[in-house]
Chain A
Amino acid sequence: MTEPVLSVRNLQVEFASRRGTLRAIDDVSFDIAKGEVLGVVGESGAGKSVTGLSVIGLIDPPGRIAGGEIRLAGLRIDNLPPEQMRRIRGKRIGMIFQDPLTSLNPLYKVGDQIVETIRTHLNLSEQAARRRAIDLLAEVGIPAPEKRIDGYPHEFSGGMRQRVVIALAICAEPEVIIADEPTTALDVSVQAQIISLIKRLGRDHGTAVMLVTHDMGVIAETSDRVAVMYAGRIAEIGPVQDVVRNPLHPYAKGLMGAIPTLAGEDKRLVQIPGSMPRLSAIPRGCSFNPRCAFAFDRCRVERPEPQPRGAQSVACHLYDTVPAESAA
């Protein structure tokens, strides 16, 4: 296996608040290879977006990366000086935000925003950058790009705006794209188009994609591998078929049970009782234990560490090599 494009090791992110420090990300590790799509799934507040923002270096105070490291093609980027990190953003790591309606500056023509980004990262003339902007708009599927390039954002529909945002994210051929809930704010009919666009771009350019979403359906359709996050930690990570068909972690089982399938009409949709803990009140031991049907004494005192099991990796005491007696 070649070296991963993006490698995150033991990442910790903390937020200082009036009532003490809150740990939003705790000991998260994952890799993404060239051309691979990693889906990151979990409930809101599980730390998916924060993980994405830390990779691109946009965690704002009072938040900070408190530990671990992030490597981009071997280069450590979590502790780069701001100016060097700035050069990486948009050039080597692109980002797509959730809401295309607010991601574009309403006072600038879309073309100017693309040209500005291209010229920040590539040494191109105004005309060359403009030609490239038109090509990019065509590539992301905007009709009549040579005309639309002079339009203002409000003249585009939501789906078209998200295409512009994607064009902006890929305009300097980044090695990694972080897509943070790229379809959540869009109509269902447009969602599939955007997803297939992101997938196609990843394949055509060999870009590694980190796709953050709470929608398991999107992940199943798009991703090669999937990471299930819960309360700031990765509960389970593995190839998408394995995790979807044979989830190991009780939380992942619950999540997969919550996907409606056409085949399993007889099965009732499973619901996970309770809700995710607040960051200020994460339970001792395994953070999932209060909601877990299989929890036993050890889960309430000792935090499970991720351990490999086949192609998957799971953080759960049920799969400890030396099982405790009550586990059976």
Chain B
Amino acid sequence: MLAFTLRRIVQAIAVMFAVGIIAFSMFRFAGDPVNQMVGQDTTIAEREAIRRSLGLDDPVILQFSHYAANAAQFKFGISYQFRLPVTDLLIERMPATLELAICATVFAMVFGILMGVYSALKRDTVLAKLFQAVSLVGISLPTFLIGILLIYLFAVTLGWLPSFGRGEVVKLGWWTTGLLTLSGLKALIMPSITLGLFQMTLIMRLVRAEMLEVLRTDYIRFARARGLTTRAIHFGHALKNTLIPVITVAGLQFGSVIAFSIITETVFQWPGMGLLFVQAVQNVDIPIMAAYLLMVSLIFVTINLVVDILYTVVDPRLRATVGRAA
């Protein structure tokens, strides 16, 4: 178990190292950092001075180690657009993104699992077929279209929900939350659905497929041969075996949700990290792009690591094989 955990941690560090090289290459080679920082009238000599002061004349390896050391302390340089430290910008916007991502995931899990279980157990009913159709539409409609559709319906036509922004937020230390005000909650509804819909269809399809697979297994046949009630078989045996891979995938998807929030945040002008990133891409603000890549990667890698370890805790079989391998 310990050896397994250690091996996964080493792998995670290797991935972060690789992403770090990419981020550094972007920062260093894609465009000239000096050009971005100075005005038109800066002389060549001044530029050289800035180059030296930034350490851009040092050997590349040395520059990278500086960059990595800074990144490890969450120092990502100064944004070209805002002339502010990237770290401050990211931290300011992180609560908005995380709140949105969590709400979207909860929405996706609850409805995805319910719809998936239903459509696996009542395969031939009208409702199950409707769910299937909805899931296909959910996968086919681009996120931004869903957002626009919702805005048109609930903001423009009905006027029930705000079409942009977070509503009123409450400060809790450095964290800002929209969960404590009515306008904040109202503002969360449409973005959460927009962001969660794709995950929901994914989870629904996965639950359905996984459940059908489990229902075909020998131990379910044997459970039926033992005369267990349909309820015990479906919700005791089949559901538990179904949910382990599903929760794993849903957990792994949390990183994707954060990345996908780029689109949702743009549609709803949600003041989160994703909107910041899109503006950075539009304005070629490399330090923000590099920092965002590193942040998202860190979240991904951490989640992967946690899920892998949790998985072995939940599934007794894996616990055994991992234990033996260790």
Mask, A255-299, CB within 8 Å of B = 1, is 000000000000000000000000000000000000000000000
Please tell me if the beta carbons of B217 and A102 are within 8 angstroms of each other in the complex.
yes
CB distance from A53 to the nearest CB of B (A): 9
Interface residue? A317 (CB, 8 A): no
B-contact 0/1 string along A74-118, CB 8 Å cutoff: 000000000000111111001101010011111110000000110
Q: Is A46 an interface residue when CB atoms closer than 8 A count as contact?
A: no
Q: How far is the CA of A107 from the CA of B243 in the complex (A)?
A: 11
Closest Cβ of chain A: how far from B69's Cβ, in Å?
A: 45
- Asked if A154 CB lies within 8 Å of chain B CBs, one says yes
CB of B317 within 8 A of CB of A106, answer: yes
Contact of A97 among B218, B227, B241 (CB under 8 A): B218
Question: How far is B218's CA from A97's CA once the two chains are assembled, in angstroms?
Answer: 8
B residues 209-263 near A (Cβ < 8 Å) are 217-219, 221-230, 232, 236-237, 240-241, 244
A319: interface (CB < 8 Å): no
Q: Which residue of A lies closest to B224 (CB)?
A: A58
Q: Smallest CB-CB separation from B225: which chain A residue?
A: A95
B219 with A105: CB separation less than 8 A: yes
**A56 within 8 Å of B by Cβ?**
yes
Are B316 and A120 closer than 8 Å at their CB atoms? no
**Which chain B residue has the least Cβ–Cβ distance from A99?**
B218
A102 touches B219 (CB 8 A): yes
The CA of A94 and the CA of B224, in the complex, are separated in Å by 11
Q: Does A30 reach chain B (CB closer than 8 Å)?
A: no
B48 within 8 A of partner (CB): no
Bound Cα distance from A86 to B231, whole angstroms: 12
User: With A102-B217, A120-B228 as given contacts, are A107 and B222 in contact (CB-CB < 8 Å)?
Assistant: no
Q: Quick one: closest B residue to A105, CB to CB? A: B219
- Are A155 and B320 interface neighbours, CB within 8 A? yes
Inter-subunit contact B237/A103 (CB<8 Å): no
Please state if B317 and A154 are interface contacts (CB–CB under 8 Å).
Answer: yes
**Nearest-neighbor residue (CB-CB) of A152 within chain B:** B316
- Flag if A107 contacts B227 (CB, 8 Å): no
Are the CB atoms of A116 and B228 closer together than 8 Å? yes
The answer, among A56, A58, A90, A106, for a CB contact under 8 Å with B219, is A106
A219 contacts B by Cβ under 8 Å? no
Tell me if B222 and A89 are in contact (CB < 8 A).
no
Q: Is the interface of B mostly helix, strand, loop or mixed?
A: helix
Give the distance in Å from the alpha carbon of A116 to the alpha carbon of B232 in the complex.
9
The answer to whether B46 has its CB under 8 Å from any CB of chain A is no
Other-chain contact of B227, A88, A104, A106 (Cβ < 8 Å):
A88
| Distance to closest chain B CB from A317 (angstroms) | 38
A89 x B224 contact (CB < 8 A): yes
> Which chain A residues lie closer than 8 Å to B237 at the CB level?
105, 108
**Bound CA span A102–B222, Å:** 9
Is B315 interfacial (CB-CB < 8 Å)? yes
Q: Would you give the 0/1 interface string for B298-326, flagging 1 where the beta carbon is closer than 8 Å to chain A?
A: 00000000000000000111001000000
A105 contacts B241, C-beta separation under 8 Å: yes
Instruction: List chain A residues, Cβ under 8 A from B217.
Output: 102
Cα–Cα distance between A106 and B220 once the two chains are bound (Å)? 11
How many chain A residues touch B (CB < 8 A): the figure is 30
The answer to whether A103 touches B316 (Cβ under 8 A) is: no
Contacts of A140 in B (CB 8 A): none
Q: A116-B228, A121-B227 are in contact. Are A95 and B222 (CB under 8 A)?
A: yes
With A86-B230, A87-B227 given, is the CB distance from A165 to B320 under 8 Å? no
A103 to B241, CA, bound (A): 14
Cβ A107 vs Cβ B240 within 8 A:
yes
Report yes or no: B227 in contact with A90, Cβ–Cβ below 8 A: yes
CB <8 Å contact, B226 and A104: no
Question: In the complex the two chains form, is B221's CB within 8 Å of A97's CB?
Answer: yes
Contact B222 A97 (CB under 8 A): yes
Q: Which residues of A contact B241 (CB under 8 A)?
A: 105-107
CB-CB under 8 A from B316, the residues of chain A are: 106-107, 152, 154
Point out the residue from A56, A97, A107, A120 that lies within 8 Å of B315, measured CB to CB: A107
Instruction: Give Cα distance in the complex from A116 to B237, angstroms.
Output: 11
What is the CA–CA distance of A87 and B227 in the complex, to the nearest angstrom? Answer: 6
Q: Which chain A residues border B240 with CB–CB below 8 Å? A: 107-108
Expressed in whole angstroms, the Cα–Cα distance for A104 and B317 within the complex equals 12
The docked-state distance in angstroms from the alpha carbon of A121 to that of B228 is 8
With A99-B218, A107-B316, A154-B316 in contact, do A120 and B224 touch (Cβ < 8 Å)?
no
Chain B residues closer than 8 Å to A99, beta-carbon distance: 218
Closest to B315 in A: A107
CA of A121 to CA of B229, assembled, Å: 10
CB of A89 within 8 A of CB of B320, answer no
Q: Most chain-B CB neighbours within 10 Å: which of A86, A105, A165?
A: A105
A149 contacts B by Cβ under 8 Å: no
Cα of A104 to Cα of B228 in the assembled complex, Å: 13
* Of A108, A155, A172, most B-chain CB atoms within 10 Å: A108
Q: How far is the CA of A90 from the CA of B223 in the complex (A)?
A: 9
A168 within 8 A of B: yes
Interface residues as binary, A198-221 with B (CB distance below 8 Å gives 1, 0 otherwise):
000000000000000000000000
Give the residues from 106 to 157 in chain A that come closer than 8 angstroms, CB to CB, to chain B. Answer: 106-108, 116-117, 120-121, 152, 154-155
> Given contacts A95-B225, A105-B223, could you give 13 more A-B pairs where the C-beta distance is less than 8 Å?
A86-B229, A87-B227, A89-B225, A90-B227, A95-B222, A103-B222, A105-B237, A107-B244, A116-B232, A117-B228, A152-B320, A154-B317, A165-B222
Please name 26 pairs of A and B residues whose Cβ atoms are closer than 8 Å in the assembled complex, sorted by A.
A88-B227, A89-B224, A90-B227, A91-B227, A94-B226, A95-B225, A95-B226, A103-B219, A103-B222, A105-B219, A106-B315, A106-B316, A107-B240, A107-B315, A107-B316, A108-B237, A108-B240, A116-B228, A116-B232, A120-B228, A120-B229, A152-B316, A152-B317, A152-B320, A154-B316, A169-B225
